[in-house]
Amino acid sequence: MNVSGAAVRACGLVKTHGQGQSRVRAVDEVDLEVPQGQMLAVMGPSGCGKSTLLHLLGGLERPTDGEVWVAGRRIDTLSERALARMRRRAVGFIFQAFHLVEELSAAENVELPALLAGRSRRQARRRASLLLERLGLADRARHLPSQLSGGQRQRVAVARALVNEPLVVLADEPTGNLDTTATLEALRIFEELRTAGQTLVIVTHDERVAATADRLVSMRDGMFVDDTRLAGSPTRGLGGLIGLEG
């Protein structure tokens, strides 16, 4: 199968839950291709399969049927160890519920994926410090998650997703807990990532976020019901986020 040019690809993707009459197709025969350096927005009502799709694309769940490819490599057939290694190196996740480690400071939460991926403590600390400063959290670096607001926790989650400079960023409602100012900053960051050649798949209810994407798909009952090519937001030339050296 030729997957050249596609950072993320799904072929005949199916995910079912339950048994017998209670069996539900959370994702139903989805085909998807996202070229490198593009941003895809996924919208739809709650329970339509958006988050499940995101988990399948990132290898957090395995499909019932179909194939998932990331950076030219099929991932749904990988062992658990190989899948975990791929996620650490190639995919950054931004979760709606943050999933921060409550016992670690903001900086330590950001450093953790870098350490797991094999970076030295010095490299991880430097990268985390630069990202937290970029996201306006330098003065909160040593705070625990419980000492941060919802918007601050979300920005820590964004920094954590970017610390390993992943090829693909998968985000589930990344602006859901942010005020208008922080949302605009997040959009600028997403644009910078895209300009630097990273690929984004973002589940969102926020039309402001969707309007900046290259492509918008709408889901209902596990299927794509609309697929629209958009112009995408213009390059803002912020500079520096991806080029930070560890």
Question: Would you list the domain boundaries of the chain?
Answer: 35-61+78-229
The band of 154, judged by pLDDT with boundaries at 50, 70 and 90, is confident
pLDDT given at position 137: 93
The band of 22, judged by pLDDT with boundaries at 50, 70 and 90, is confident
pLDDT given at position 70: 95
Which of 49-58, 65-74, 192-201 is the least confident region? 192-201
Instruction: Indicate whether 61 pLDDT > 80.
Output: yes
Region 147-172 average pLDDT:
91
Residue keyed to tokens 């927005």: 41
CB 169 within 8 A of CB 196: no
- Where does residue 3 rank: exposed (0-12), middle (13-18), buried (19+ CB within 10 A)? middle
9/180: higher pLDDT = 9
DSSP collapsed to 3 states, the chain: CCCCCEEEEEEEEEEEECCHHHCEEEEEEEEEEEECCCEEEEECCCCCCHHHHHHHHCCCCCCCEEEEEECCEECCCCCHHHHHHHHHHHEEEECCCCCCCCCCCHHHHHHHHHHHCCCCHHHHHHHHHHHHHHCCCHHHCCCCHHHCCHHHHHHHHHHHHHCCCCCEEEEECCCCCCCHHHHHHHHHHHHHHHHCCCEEEEECCCHHHHCCCCEEEEEECCEEEEEEECCCCCCCCCCCCCCCCC
pLDDT given at position 145: 95
Cα–Cα distances (Å) from 176 to 36, 144, 206, in that order, read 25, 21, 8
The edge-to-edge listing of strands for the beta sheet with 215-220 is: 91-94, 168-172, 199-203, 39-43, 215-220, 223-229
pLDDT tens by residue, 99-136: 999 999 999 999 999 999 899 999 999 999 999 998 88
The CATH number of the structural domain formed by 35-61+78-229 is 3.40.50.300
Percent of the chain topping pLDDT 90? 63
The band of 170, judged by pLDDT with boundaries at 50, 70 and 90, is very high
pLDDT given at position 233: 54
Percent of the chain topping pLDDT 70? 91
Around Cβ 149, how many Cβ atoms within 10 Å? 12
The band of 19, judged by pLDDT with boundaries at 50, 70 and 90, is confident
Which of 11-15, 147-151, 155-159, 179-183 is the least confident region? 179-183
- Residue 136 to residue 147: CA distance in whole angstroms: 16
The band of 2, judged by pLDDT with boundaries at 50, 70 and 90, is very low
Instruction: Indicate whether 237 pLDDT > 50.
Output: no
Region 216-228 average pLDDT:
94
pLDDT given at position 232: 61
What average pLDDT does the structure give for the chain? Answer: 88
